[in-house]
Structure 1
Amino acid sequence: MNQIITFGEVLMRISPRGNKKFIQSNAVEFYFGGTEVNVGISIANFGGKVKHISCISNDFIGDTAISYLNKFDLDTSEIVRSSRPLGVYFLEVGAVMRPSSISYNRSHSSFSEIEPSMVNWETSLENGNWFHWTGITPALCKGAQETLLEGLKLARKKGMQVSADPTYRSGLWKYGEEPQKVLAELIEYSTIFIGGINEINELLGTEYSYSNDDFIDASKELMEKFPSIEKVFDKIRTAKNASWHKIRARMWNGTEFRETRDLDITHIVDRIGTGDAFAAGLIHGLQNFNDYKAMQFGSAACAIKHTYQGDVNYANEREVISILEGNTSGRFNR
């Protein structure tokens, strides 16, 4: 059985309803998510087999989170439990010229006590053919960094594909490690790079611009520095305001540069998790299509995620392919 492995924190998101600020509201709604689990659920919705590995609170909130993952048929057999609470973040959803705002409460969460001894990677990767990681997890704590590194080493030893989305968020790195050094070590065990100029510049200490020519040159230098990287994919977002964005993607696969057309998102319902939707669509696409169609599928998956509330992309493969084929009118399906 081919199984995609994801490893990372599961979070609860709490938001006022609609586009209200907390001070306006006394009613909130909650969702479960987290960068890597968002990817896993989306892939499962496309028909893939996914196992998510994490550390979750041993209480009714943790039970509810696991039930949520199980609803999408994610394998949660390797999730460990903790006496610490589940991580939480608070979101005020912006509109038009008002941006969204996020506040995290995850410093002492259940996942923050993860240690390598808590994960049996031999068992966890037994049926795996693909491992996906992001830069969020190694930023959270030393234990998460070390646990991830052990998993990646074994995944490559087993010949698994490893996709890296080395998202860099400076506000998360609080335990004394140098982000560039940590991420570079993890990239050494990765084969697919999902990131753009910002991420490449951060890793290489370079100053490439956002042009296509610089993207190609940056990708070539990245592959030279990290020979395990076979392909580079970049999602490009152009924002007119908080409610209207355009999405396209580009790639360098070692021999060919390609770029998708813009997809117009004229009314954003929810932007959270859209990068994860791109990664999930790309991973699913690379397992089923050629590189260009995989990138198109990822871009379309990202676009349609903007229409769903919550952290997760609920679209199935047929719905994403419909967007990919240009059916963006939103007309009734009868």
Structure 2
Amino acid sequence: MMLRLKPTDHQRIIQANTYDANYGGSEANVAVSLALLGDQAEYFSKLPANPLGDMAIGTLRQYGVNTSKVLRGGKRLGIYFFEKGASIRNTSVVYDRADSSFATMTSTEFDWPKILAGVNYFYFSGITAALSADIRTALLQACEYCQANHITVACDMNYRGKMWTPEAAQAAMAKLMPYINICLANDEDFEASLGIKAFDGDMTRGIEQRDQFEQAMRQVQQQYPNCHTVASVLRDIHSVEDSTWTAMMLQDGQVFEGPAYKMHVFEGVAGGDAFGAGLMHGLINDFTPQATIDYAITASALKLTISGDLNLVTDADVRNAMQSGNSVDR
């Protein structure tokens, strides 16, 4: 979990002298979403024992996330600077996260029987796996424990080129994938994290490549039979503000496609985390596969209308949006 600093008034980082402060991070965003949707969500991390750590943990508690297992200590809370793009200028991120409390944890600090006590689903992201070799060791131990104790494992591949290389990501994921039951992969994640090509890199025409995405999903399940669900967001991005979003899910050999939303994007951050939370909510609550993917992409689209990392919507908000008729033809 990190402190997010965003230049005020849509300025660039090089001209900013004031910043809006928020807190978030991939798994933290998912935990908050699940809690707001009405599920029981626990979050595990290590946060510094200082006011920034207090604010981070307070943010989670504010929205109903159980933080009783969070450790305190270490040097610092990681920071990232978020520069919102406009028109043809892309959004950009600058990380300042080296030596954070979580990134410097050793594998011996992860007491998985205690952390996973009473847990039915374990959710982590490729961003976490990218942080250190010790954390990758801990994640592998967690996955082994989950398999032995019948805990469902979900992973958002969430590849970040600023954090590691495709070669490093693929080597790590090759060890973790045999334990993963629910795989989320968007855009370049398939190729960068799994070595499976699904997307040609042209963000203006992602949706028309649905056949390639389906083939990649089926290849994931062929290589890893333990993975019963594979899901992905597909996007046509015409500018920072204007894009179309839809999603696909492969389950039990059948592909389900959600509605498409033509979006005027207020802030294009954490849409993938909102999608992951919506998907998990559907799976946890035994939605039909079609209802699950419809719900997940609607939750993701709603996040694009909200500032900050957290998707501050309820189950009623998602259902109202699903019934609004604002989607384009599937």
Does the pair score TM above 0.5? Answer: yes
How far apart are 1:55 and its partner, in Å? 1.1
How far apart are 1:217 and its partner, in Å? 2.5
How far apart are 1:275 and its partner, in Å? 0.7
How far apart are 1:327 and its partner, in Å? 4.8
State the secondary structure of the residue aligned to 2:135. helix
Is the aligned partner of 1:45 residue 2:42?
no
Partners of 1:306 and 1:224 lie apart in 2 by 33
**Matched residue type, 1:273:** A
Q: Which runs of 5+ in 2 are unaligned?
A: 200-205
> In the alignment, which residue of structure 1 is the partner of 2:202?
none
Partners of 1:283 and 1:206 lie apart in 2 by 24
TM-score by length of 2: 0.91
**Matched residue type, 1:325:** Q
Judge conservation of contact 2:256–2:289 (CA < 8 Å) in 1.
no
**Matched residue type, 1:300:** T
Is the aligned partner of 1:199 residue 2:196?
no
Judge conservation of contact 1:14–1:90 (CA < 8 Å) in 2.
yes
Judge conservation of contact 2:173–2:194 (CA < 8 Å) in 1.
no
Rate the CA distance shift 1:235–1:206 in 2: closer, same or farther, 3 A.
closer
Which residue of 256, 274, 277 maps to 2:274? 277
Is the aligned partner of 1:93 residue 2:90?
no
Partners of 1:237 and 1:208 lie apart in 2 by 13
Is the aligned partner of 1:293 residue 2:310?
no
Judge conservation of contact 1:136–1:167 (CA < 8 Å) in 2.
yes
Which residue of 8, 33, 52 maps to 2:24? 33
Q: Which residues of 2 match residues 155-166 of structure 1 at below 5 A?
A: 155-166=146-157
Pairs aligned (count): 318
1:104-136 Cα deviation digits (max 9, x unpaired): 001111111112221211111111101111110
Partners of 1:152 and 1:88 lie apart in 2 by 28
Judge conservation of contact 1:80–1:118 (CA < 8 Å) in 2.
no
> In the alignment, which residue of structure 1 is the partner of 2:171?
181
State the secondary structure of the residue aligned to 1:50. coil
How far apart are 1:173 and its partner, in Å? 2.2
> In the alignment, which residue of structure 1 is the partner of 2:93?
102
Q: Which residues of 2 match residues 64-79 of structure 1 at below 5 A?
A: 64-79=55-70
Q: Which residues of 2 match residues 243-282 of structure 1 at below 5 A?
A: 243-266=241-264, 268-282=265-279
**Matched residue type, 2:67:** T
Partners of 2:195 and 2:59 lie apart in 1 by 40
Mean Cα deviation higher: 253-262 or 84-93: 253-262
Judge conservation of contact 1:34–1:311 (CA < 8 Å) in 2.
yes
> In the alignment, which residue of structure 2 is the partner of 1:169?
160
Which residue of 136, 142, 145 maps to 1:145? 136
Please tell me the root mean square deviation across aligned C-alpha atoms, in Å: 1.9
1:40-71 Cα deviation digits (max 9, x unpaired): 10011101111111111111111111111111
**Matched residue type, 2:219:** E
How far apart are 1:197 and its partner, in Å? 6.1
How far apart are 1:286 and its partner, in Å? 1.4
Q: Which runs of 5+ in 1 are unaligned?
A: 1-9, 330-334
1:57-100 Cα deviation digits (max 9, x unpaired): 11111111111111112111111122311000011111122211
TM-score by length of 1: 0.90
